[in-house]
Amino acid sequence: MEEELENAWSYLLNDTLFRHFTNEEMLELPLKDYFLSCNKGKVIYNEGDYISGFYLIYRGVVKVYKTGIDGKYQILRFAKEGDIIGFRSTITGEKACTTAYALEETDLILIRKEVVLKLIKSNGAFALELLKIACTELGEANDLIKDIAQKTVRERIAEVIIHLKLGFGTDKNHILNIALKREEIANLAGTSTETAIRQLSELKQEGVIGFVGKKIKINDHETLLKIGNM
C-alpha cells in the first residue's frame, strides 16, 4: 500500500493535470486519505448526491450516465485512467447530475472541492487545463445532441463503435479493448436493447464487424465510418 501511494503520487505529479504544480504546492493534497478502491459494480456517486470533490481515475473504467424514466438510462461517456469524473458538480457546487459506476476494479484519487477551488485561483495553467477539459466535454456533448436528434439508430450504432475504438483502442486483431453489454451499447446510442441488437447483427451480416467473445471486432473501419456519417 505504501508503494502504491508512492506510485500514485508520482503519477499525479507527472502525468495528470496536476503536473502544473510543484511538490510543495501539492502538499495540500492529503493523498493517503483520499485514495479509494472500488469493486466492479460499485456506484461511485449517484445522481442527486452532493459530492465532496472530483475523482481522478487511477485505474479502471467508469460508466457515467443519467437515469431517465422507467429503468432507462442514457450513458454520456466512459471514463478511463487519467480522466476525471464529477468535476462539473464540484465546480458549480450543485448536486451531481449523473451517476458514476465502476465497470471493473477501479482506483480513484479524490480531490476535495476546497483544494480544487484554491488551486484554480493560485495556478492559472491548472485553471486553463480544467477549462480545456470542460470545453472538450462540452463539444462532445453538443455533437451527441445533434447525432441523437438527427441520425438513425444504424448510424448511431456505427458511430458508437468508432468512438469506442477511439477511446479504448483495439488489439492487433482489431478487437475492441472493452467489452460492453448490449444494453450498454444501446443506452450509449440512445435506443432500446433489442433495436441495438438488431443493428449489430445486421452489421455483422454485412461483415463490417464481428463478435469475439463479448467483444466487438472491427473488420472494416472505413465502411463503419461511412455508415456512421462521420
Partner DNA sequence: CGGGAGATTGACTGATCTCAACCCGGGTGG
Partner DNA sequence: CCACCCGGGTTGAGATCAGTCAATCTCCCG
**To which H or E segment does residue 54 belong?**
strand 53-59
Cα–Cα distance measured from residue 84 to residue 58, given in angstroms and rounded to the nearest whole number: 9
Cα–Cα distance measured from residue 212 to residue 119, given in angstroms and rounded to the nearest whole number: 46
> Is residue 120 part of the contact set for a copy of itself (CB under 8 A)?
yes
Cβ closest to DNA, residue 32 vs residue 182: 182
Shortest gap between Cβ of 225 and DNA (angstroms)?
Answer: 18
Helices first, then strands: H and E counts in the chain: 8, 10
Q: Judged by CB under 8 A, which of 4, 6, 105, 143 binds a copy of itself? A: 143
Backbone torsions φ then ψ of 194, nearest 5 degrees? -60, -45
Shortest gap between Cβ of 65 and DNA (angstroms)?
Answer: 15
Cα–Cα distance measured from residue 116 to residue 52, given in angstroms and rounded to the nearest whole number: 11
Cα–Cα distance measured from residue 152 to residue 39, given in angstroms and rounded to the nearest whole number: 36
- Residue 182's binding partner, choosing from DNA, a copy of itself, none, with beta-carbon cut-off 5 to 8 A by kind? DNA
Residues within window 158-187 making contact with a copy of itself, judged by CB under 8 A:
none
Cβ closest to DNA, residue 130 vs residue 209: 209
Q: How many CB atoms lie within 10 A of CB 12?
A: 20
- Residue 205's binding partner, choosing from a copy of itself, DNA, none, with beta-carbon cut-off 5 to 8 A by kind? none
Residues within window 56-85 making contact with a copy of itself, judged by CB under 8 A:
66, 68-69, 72, 74, 76
- Residue 153's binding partner, choosing from DNA, a copy of itself, none, with beta-carbon cut-off 5 to 8 A by kind? DNA
Shortest gap between Cβ of 203 and DNA (angstroms)?
Answer: 11
Long-range pairs, 128-135, Cβ under 8 A, ≥24: 129/17, 129/20, 130/17, 130/87, 130/91, 133/17, 133/84, 133/87, 134/87, 134/88, 134/91
Q: Note the residues at the interface with a copy of itself (CB under 8 A).
A: 66, 68-69, 72, 74, 76, 87-88, 91-92, 94, 97-98, 117, 120-122, 124-125, 127-128, 130-132, 134-139, 141-146, 148-150, 190, 229
